[in-house]
Amino acid sequence: MPPAPMPDDWQRALVVAAHPDDIEYGIAAAVAVWTAAGKEVRYLLATRGEAGMAGVPPEQAGPLREDEERRSAAVVGVREVEFLDHRDGVLVAGPELRRDLAGAIRRHRPELVVTGYFGATWTPPGVTPAYVNSADHRALGQCVVDAVADAANEWIFPELTAPPWRGVQYIAVGELVDPPHEVDVSAAVEQAVASLSEHRRYLELLSDAPVEEQARQVVDMSTMTEDGRRRVGFRLFWG
């Protein structure tokens, strides 16, 4: 079955990720489409990605990557970016992370919560060996879907001060292979490339290729379909 368009009956989205640059590996193209249509989108990052730069100590990498994430967000029309300050690389799916995510969901009061694919592995058609998803991505995604329910429940985390939020209509989880829903991002490819390119210092360390070239390759890989269309795919769950 071809993917269905994403529902439109929401006004504010909260995109939740483990690390700076996770959102820019695909989802940012959809964010650009949404903000251009007048939706409000905010970002929530569990960590500052401080363990992500070889040769750069965490105390330098953290602020640098936070700054790059804020610039990336601005390119696609996102002004609010919050960091929860969990330690990069050792996210654990459990009550501590759920509580902090639930607290943030209560503060931001989104109707749509978006997060990246968090299955253990993924296998694009015809590709072998397959890919293992990072431990942080697995833990974060599981906690995001649980935290939507926690945010609505007054008893699970009574220490949270913001009132319960029961307004999440949908949870959208990134899906690269055969997504049930999609956002047409044909008009947002250049913005997505520019957004990922803001992770300049990070990408410069990853490869000798020019940053814009690396960014274009990633955006192409994460948005191009076999018939040459551009889309970002999601699997939707009720909030």
Nearer to Zn ion, 19 or 65 (CB): 19
Which DSSP symbol is given to 186? Answer: G
Closest CA to 151 of 197, 218, 101: 101
Nearer to Zn ion, 82 or 184 (CB): 82
Q: Does 69 bind Zn ion (CB under 5 A)?
A: no
**Least Å distance between CB 209 and Zn ion?**
20
Nearer to Zn ion, 114 or 160 (CB): 114
Phi, psi dihedrals of residue 161, rounded to the nearest 5°: -90, -30
CB 53 within 8 A of CB 61: yes
Q: Does 106 bind Zn ion (CB under 5 A)?
A: no
Question: Which span sits near Zn ion by CB under 5 A: 13-21, 97-105, 121-129, 230-238?
Answer: 13-21
CB 164 within 8 A of CB 121: no
Closest CA to 37 of 76, 84, 70: 76
Q: Does 50 bind Zn ion (CB under 5 A)?
A: no
Strand 121-122 and strand 131-132: pairing?
antiparallel
Number of residues that bind Zn ion (CB under 5 A): 3
Question: Which span sits near Zn ion by CB under 5 A: 15-23, 65-73, 99-107, 178-186?
Answer: 15-23
Choosing from 3, 14, 16, 19, the residue that interacts with Zn ion (CB under 5 A) is 19
Minimal CB distance residue for Zn ion: 19
Q: Does 24 bind Zn ion (CB under 5 A)?
A: no
Torsion of Cα atoms, 118 then 147 then 33 then 18, to 10°: -50
Q: Does 99 bind Zn ion (CB under 5 A)?
A: no
R_g over Cα of the chain? 17
**Least Å distance between CB 219 and Zn ion?**
16
Q: Does 22 bind Zn ion (CB under 5 A)?
A: yes
- Kindly give, in sequence order, each residue whose CB lies less than 8 Å from that of residue 208, ignoring residues fewer than 6 positions away: none
Nearer to Zn ion, 21 or 40 (CB): 21
Three-state SS at 54: coil
Residues lying near Zn ion in the complex (CB under 5 A) are found at 18-19, 22
